Amino acid sequence: MSETDAMSGTDATGPGDLAELTVAQAGALLRSGEITSVQLAEHALGLIEAHDAALNSFVLVTRDQALERARQADRELRGGLDRGPLHGIPYALKDIFDAEGLPTTNQSWLTVSDVAAGDSAVEERLRAGGGVLLGKLATYEFAMGGPSPDLPFPPARNPWNTEHIPSGSSSGAGVAVAAGFLRVAFGSDTAGSMRGPAFHCGTVGLKPTYGLVSGHGATPLSPTMDHFGPLGWTVADTAAALQAVAGPDPRDPRTRDAPAPDYLGGLTGDVKGLRVAYSSAWYAHDPETLPEITEGIERALAHLEGLGAIVEECKLPAYELFNACGRIVMAAEGFATHERNLREEPRKFGRITYQKLLPGAGVGAADLLRAMELRRRLIEALDQRVFADHDVLVTACGQTTAARFDAFPLDWPPPRLANDMQTIPFALTGHPAMSLPLGFAGNGLPIGVQLVGPRFGEAGLFRAGTALEAEFGRRGTRPALTTGAPDDRHATA
């Protein structure tokens, strides 16, 4: 397939195609009896079987279990039991989340055979909400490494052009949603691991407020920066997915002891009076930023203002402060999390993961304390300079389109990669942040924008995102997929 053909995309056929039904559309048809959950699951499984050989988004497909859960959902819905917005809807989990009886491989030889004794909090809530688990999704090793060839499963590939990476580490989630296998998937974000795949694959990716979604039963990387949440094909799909998993969990002390608000009630696209901040200093004058991305952000701001939002420029602390601080915290915590295996079984790590984790050994207590103090001041600066007077901050998510696989280094650290993300600041501060597609660059690959809100301000992000999606979303366009014979790159259960 030529590069042009691979990126040309196809127009979706509309609601008649089961893959193109939104969560709300599918839910309405499930409740009316016009379709069944079994039909949705079988259709999704058929797409995965036909096309995932070229994309590697799944590492495990739970076909039999999925169909049984779909049959149960159909029985319950026919009987009048409604468990919520994802009842009967297929989804999948990044392979760092435990699901009872299934392996949690973390894409690592160290844990490739580990079988979960119970459900993670995310899976527990999705199961209780009647969702239909289709399987486990590709990730970078321990949500940290890269698209490395020395791991148990091949790396996921960008569906818009398989010669390009989908970004990571929630790579399989971004690919599966963009390809139309799923409406929603669930991943983690420690420095941009959901927003990166969303940006590079043209989906919506939400890093919720720190502590909004429980991390119980999810493999940790950097406990004070780990976030857990959804990727979706639309803003409304993503809001429905967050509704299903958000809320307190006594097993995770990071969670807030308060119920999640209604995220679905405000998806009207009305942004009149919404206070929107932006600061072009982070991206507009950086030569690494594609002009198309800067222009896209400017169009988004103009559109919001035209709809009645109040758009104002603000002054942010230097991006480099956030980046350096976040890298120190993540390095120290990542090394501490994996120290035992790094010392006892270093050769079982993938090459890139080992090289990325090991520098954390050199972060001393004084370094970490200084970073934590800087982190406090940066959080304070955002709260006072931006979110005291604004509902949403609009900024860049990534600076370029997805890199080619052959441009990705086998050793770390690399020269500056031409797909640098600007996501780590809000993983460091804990503010909610969402990657939203804005269309495509001249090379046919997706570009987008990042929306950031005050803590627990996800509803404002959905409000602004709905308005922008209506103008720029191109939700009717899908990547052209290759049909290939199934192989043994992932298991079927």
For 111, how many CA atoms within 13 A lie in the half-sphere containing its CB?
A: 18
Which entry of 37, 170, 193, 279 is annotated as an active-site residue? 193
- d(Cα 249, Cα 480) in Å, to the nearest integer? 41
Which entry of 57, 94, 148, 222 is annotated as an active-site residue? 94
DSSP state of 360: G
- d(Cα 133, Cα 450) in Å, to the nearest integer? 29
For the segment 334-339, the average pLDDT, to the nearest whole number, is 98
Which entry of 37, 169, 170, 214 is annotated as an active-site residue? 169
193 is catalytic: yes
24-79 pLDDT tens trace: 999 999 999 999 999 999 999 999 999 999 999 999 999 999 999 999 999 999 99
For the segment 400-424, the average pLDDT, to the nearest whole number, is 80
Contacts of 197 (CB under 8 A, 6+ apart): 166, 167, 168, 170, 171, 173, 174, 175, 187, 203, 205, 231
Q: Give percent of the chain with pLDDT exceeding 90.
A: 88
- d(Cα 435, Cα 413) in Å, to the nearest integer? 26
User: Is 3.90.470.20 the CATH classification of the domain at 21-492?
Assistant: no
| CB distance 425 to 324 below 8 Å | no
Reported as a pLDDT band with limits 50, 70 and 90, residue 411 is confident
Residue 12: pLDDT above 60?
no
Q: For the chain, give every domain's residue range.
A: 21-492
Strands 132-137 and 90-94: parallel
Amino acid at 471: E
Residue 400: pLDDT above 80?
yes
Reported as a pLDDT band with limits 50, 70 and 90, residue 476 is confident
Residue 419: pLDDT above 60?
no
Radius of gyration of the chain (CA): 21
Amino acid at 421: M
What is the biggest distance separating any 2 CA atoms in the chain, rounded to whole angstroms? 62
Higher model confidence: residue 330 or residue 414?
330
169 is catalytic: yes
For 91, how many CA atoms within 13 A lie in the half-sphere containing its CB?
A: 38
Indicate the pTM of the whole model.
0.95
The pLDDT mean for the chain works out to 93
Nearest alpha-carbon partner for 402 in 443, 449, 437, 351: 443
Provide the pLDDT for residue 491: 59
What stretches of 345-490 show up as alpha helix (H) in DSSP? 351-357, 365-385, 424-429, 458-472
